[in-house]
Amino acid sequence: MLYTKIKDEEIDILREFYKDGIHYIEVKRRNRGCIYPKCARFVPKVKGYKKRVIIHDIYANGDTRIIYLQRRFICPDCKTTKMEDDPFSSIGSNISDYTILCILDDLKRYNHPFLEIAQKHKISATMVQNIFDTYVDMKRLYLPEVISIDEFYFSRKSKKKYRLAIMNFYNMAIIDILKDRDKATLLEWLRDIDIEERKRVKYVTIDMNDIYRDVIYRRIPEATVIADSFHVVKYVAKALDDVRKRIMFPYRNDHRSDEYHLLKYHDDLLYVKDTNSKRFLEARYSKHFHMYLSNHDKLIKLLNIHHDLKDAYELYHAYVRFNNRDFNDLIEAMNELEILINDFSTSPNREFNELALTLENWKAEICNSFIRYKGRRLSNGPMEKRNDLIKKIVKIGNGYANFERFRNRAMYCLNTLATHNYPIKLDDLKD
């Protein structure tokens, strides 16, 4: 099976041999003549042959080359010559259609770096990159009704260490990846999109970044901006953790103390939601305390270390309960949030006082996060999953010096319907 544009019966295999570990197959196409478009004459006469060596990766565990004896025809009337059609390559390359299509198919898998694909197909990594750059050019996708925006870490060596990904919330397709997360870049990207297309966007989910919010209100004023609930909870959890670290600081030189042990090694107990579960109440022997204690017992000891920690613990869980509620309307959510903001601002913990200012600044967008659209609560959760895969592409590729290549690779791999622009498909080849 030679996998060409014509059937195997139309190709004569003249000989096969091995040289320097490479499998060579010398072939010649059966003479079907050619028609000269200039004089509309059928010409079977052959002037000569051109020997071409083509990389044709038809065997899984071998380096294969096709030696193709390509005929050159000559017209007896106009004396012009014409080369026989190449059944192996549609573009006259020394790499066959089948090999290029297999490479492009391998490149669709995000966990296959360029070097690995090059080694598989017995060509250089530069050649694989050139194939990819030539035949994969991802265009921006059309804006849907709900989009998610989030940055991701790209490279410490790059001038711009963060890039910006824009995603369709519902099908998780990457709409585009921008070269940086600067305000000017996002403004320009949205400005270049037709206003009617921008009007289609009803909701935009973002983390608590003032730049993204300002740009959306400016370029898509009719859209509802939603602060990702996960990021808000993360900010509250950080405030609790900062209180814990502050309280632990005086015990830093007394590692054997109960206070240091609890604050250092059992801080995870502060974030447990179900403190009445059987596992949480089950007593186990503690080497440090030399007695049987449950996680509930340890939590009580932990909270009794300092009243600031207990206050921070209660505020954190109050916000978690607020975040997990289903409100009848946004007014009810706003009223509950304002009560929480007041509790944060009057807390003895400065960490929560500072956080209260942030929540006040974002309270409209936080309340918008309780909106359900087509049965789903909108958030940046799907965006975070996509960003994890994008980061893996960067890591597996050992970084990307060429941003456009990275952008094309990420969108090509992660968008299910993304395809290349090679002139033929694998289905067009005969086996």
Q: What sign does the CA torsion over 218, 223, 224, 230 have?
A: negative
Co-location of 298 and 316 in the same domain: yes
**382 & 314 share domain:** no
pLDDT reported for residue 38: 66
Q: Identify whether residues 318 and 193 lie together within a single domain.
A: no
Cβ neighbourhood burial of 68 (10 Å; 0-12, 13-18, 19+): buried
Question: Is residue 348 domain-resident?
Answer: yes
Confidence (pTM): 0.88
Residue 239 lies in a domain: yes
- Domain assignment present for 179: yes
Confidence of residue 56 (pLDDT cuts 50, 70, 90): confident
224 in the same domain as 355 = no
**What's the rounded mean pLDDT across residues 408-417?**
96
223 and 237, same domain (yes or no): no
- Largest separation between any pair of C-alpha atoms in the chain: 106
Strands 63-74, 22-29: pairing is parallel
Q: Which of 62, 94, 126 is the last residue of a domain?
A: 94
Query: What value does the mean pLDDT take over residues 255-274?
Result: 95
Exposure class string for 172-190: b at 16+ Cβ within 10 A, else e: bbbbbbbbbbeeebbeebb
Structural domain boundaries, residue 150 = 146-228+376-393
DSSP string, 366-426: HHHTT-EETTEE--SHHHHHHHHHHHHHHHHTT--S-HHHHHHHHHHHH-TT-----SS-G
**pLDDT at residue 305 is higher than 70:** yes
Q: Examine the domain organization and report whether 308 and 325 are in the same domain.
A: yes
Residue 146, SS3 per DSSP: strand
Quick one: pLDDT band at residue 230, thresholds 50, 70, 90?
very high
